[in-house]
Amino acid sequence: EVQLAQSGAEVKKPGESLKISCQGSGYRFSSNWIAWVRQKSGKGRELMGIIFPADSDIKYSPSFEGQVTISVDKSISTAYLQWSSLNASDTAIYYCARLLMVRGNRWFDPWGPGTPVIVS
């Protein structure tokens, strides 16, 4: 079964650093882009960026460029999202998702369970 497992909930203070993870299993991890998606309480989803594990090619959404760092360790099938200095506005649930590309269609499947991050 194809799965994405994410690290557990985090409670941090403003100014602290954080790195959360997303580990894939059940498929060839290097072959598919992995996306990070933010969802604030009561709000819609926002794409933060995507990374291709095979060569670590990264594309950031303009709103998140310079605010977070996306990385990957393909040897352990794990993608990461990190902050060097959190602030309260980073409070949200963070999802990772695998990007599928078939015959010109692109969609996310599966999604990880989400990592809640509270900064307070």
What sign for the dihedral angle of Cα 23, 28, 30, 34?
negative
User: Contact between 112 and other proteins (CB under 8 A)?
Assistant: yes
Both structure tokens of 33: 């882009």
Contact status: 109 vs other proteins (CB under 8 A): yes
By CB under 8 A, which span of 8-16, 65-73, 76-84, 93-101 interacts with other proteins?
93-101
**CA dist., res. 44 & res. 59, Å (int):** 20
Nearer to other proteins, 27 or 111 (CB): 111
Contact criterion met (CB below 8 Å) for 76 and 23? yes
List 61, 67, 69, 71, residue binding other proteins (CB under 8 A): 61
